[in-house]
Amino acid sequence: MRKRENEGLGMITRSIIMGGVIAILVFISPWLMACGRDSTPSEPLTYLEPGSNIPRLTAEGKARAKQIALDDPRVIELIEGKNYAVAQKYGESTLNTRIGIWHTSEDLRVIGAVLEIWFDKLYTIKYDWPFAQYDEDYKYLGEITMTREVSVEALMIYVDFREEKVVEIRPLNFGLD
């Protein structure tokens, strides 16, 4: 009888020890995986906010999106000769409030960034507005254009980080004309 009690205690002790080892490994495994690697994250343009699984843009990611947008010939053509503010409403004092992550809704895969360019006033613009096309796996297929003349107070620019380019430009008008 005594031997069975000792075997039972041995099983309990082993279970407690194994549970402790597993808990320690879960706690330190991210640190262990990072040892020996470059300290920069594998995706330097995004991060996960603590307590959230939704990706966010880093300052580097916002800067990259702005640079790609402002280098795009179509964006240059649309803003030429106009007073505008990039990633903030015209006249706002806070910076980068109008720029965010662009990701899939199902599995939160990062596609790129969306940013706004705000004008100082309403402009009537006739343009071949580009709209991106993607397949079911979010592989970029190209764009279609729609020629429209619209009143525009801002542009919504979609930057695809994988393609390293602007893939869509939408005119915005919130009815302030």
In the DSSP assignment, the letter for residue 49 is: P
Cβ proximity of 169 and 157 under 8 Å: yes
Q: Which residues on neighbouring strands pair with residue 143, listed in sequence order? A: 132
Q: Domain segments of the chain: what residues?
A: 1-39, 46-172
Q: For residue 88, what pLDDT band results from cuts at 50, 70 and 90?
A: confident
Tell me: the pLDDT tens digits for 107-135? 888 999 999 999 999 999 999 999 999 99
pLDDT in tens, 48-70: 666 778 888 888 999 999 999 99
Give the pLDDT band of residue 170 (cuts 50, 70, 90). very high
Rounded-to-10 torsion of CA 30, 42, 47, 70: 170
Residues 6 or more apart from 115 whose CB is under 8 A from it?
62, 65, 66, 69, 86, 87, 98, 99, 100, 156, 157, 159
Q: pTM for this structure?
A: 0.69
* pLDDT reported for residue 47: 66
Backbone angles phi, psi at 46, to 5 degrees: -135, 165
163: which residues sit within 8 A by CB, 6+ positions away? 112, 140
Q: Pick the most confident of 35-39, 107-111, 152-156.
A: 152-156
Q: What is residue 168's three-state secondary structure?
A: strand
Closest alpha carbon to 101 in 165, 49, 56: 56
